[in-house]
Structure 1
Amino acid sequence: MRTTEDAEGFDGEASNTSMISGASSPYQPTTEPVLSRNVLGGISCFVVTGVLLLIFCLNLHTKVPHVNWSLTDLVNTAASTFFFFLSSLVLACINHNTGAEIAAVIFGFLVTGVYGVNSFLAVRRWRRGNGCQGAAQTSEYMRARTASRGEMEARPELA
């Protein structure tokens, strides 16, 4: 016949009744649960920048002339600079001095610097008006120049 101690478990194993009743058991969790983190902010900057890079590399921006691509690039890089700087600053302030957090702060400020330089270049490009509108003006200039050459050849007295 078994005693109540034997009914709890035998051979050093915990029984189901001790787990359900909430009694102290050697199978208690030893780590704290990890809270889910929202990584959408950093990934969205990466995706938007990647899409714009693809559009510019494949010259797709010339196919859509009614979008001011210089301003679009300027807004993307300026917003990314601001958000990366803000998130790096917050992480630097609440840093727990772990290796991963220190690396994240360093790379965050490096990315902020790169986006900052790109923002500066985007402002210069936007002020010059070197967007898709500039490409349209260049093609009109070339068409007018070609037409004027044809007129000059048709009138030999001007040559």
Structure 2
Amino acid sequence: MVRILCLVILICFSASTPGYSSLSVVEMILAAIFFVVYMCDLHTKIPFINWPWSDFFRTLIAAILYLITSIVVLVERGNHSKIVAGVLGLIATCLFGYDAYVTFPFRQPRHTAAPTDPADGPV
């Protein structure tokens, strides 16, 4: 969902002001990299990078940068594609903020050990 929204924002930014489109391009590339890392199970093979914290900071920084860029674009009051890109950027800010909330590493449940009591009761 967020990748599709980034693509639409990229198209709107490119139609209005090409200088703002780099944010969407970089975020789409980073999202594709994280997708490949998790789908190929590389996060277990590359242990020196803390992948949950990296994903959290990627989404948090994307939310902040989309918020700043969207506010700047909406304040400039350009053509319709700028306004649409600004509004979609605010929606992307909300989605990235929610994604940062969901991927926050301390919020993730920890695995607990299974009980070691015998199944048929105490001896």
Could you state the TM-score of these two structures normalised by the residue count of structure 1? 0.54
1:106 and 2:87 correspond: yes
Q: Is the 8 A contact 1:70 1:129 kept in 2?
A: no
Unaligned segments of structure 1, at least 5 residues: 1-34, 143-147, 149-158
Kindly report the root-mean-square deviation, in angstroms, between the aligned alpha carbons of the 2 structures: 2.8
Moved over 2 A (4+): 35-42
Q: Is the 8 A contact 2:70 2:86 kept in 1?
A: yes
Which structure has greater helix proportion?
2
Q: Which residue of 1 aligns with 2:106?
A: 127
Unaligned segments of structure 2, at least 5 residues: 1-16, 117-122
Q: Which residue of 2 aligns with 1:60?
A: 42
**Cα displacement string for residues 97-156 of structure 1 (whole angstroms, at most 9, x for unaligned residues):** x22112111211111111010011122xx10466xxx7xx89xx79xxxxx9xxxxxxxx
Paired residues in the alignment total 102
| In 1, Cα distance between equivalents of 2:48 and 2:60 | 22
| Percent identical residues | 18
State the SS of the aligned residue for 1:39.
Answer: helix
| In 2, Cα distance between equivalents of 1:93 and 1:36 | 17
Q: Aligned AA for 1:86? A: I
Larger-gyration structure (1/2): 1
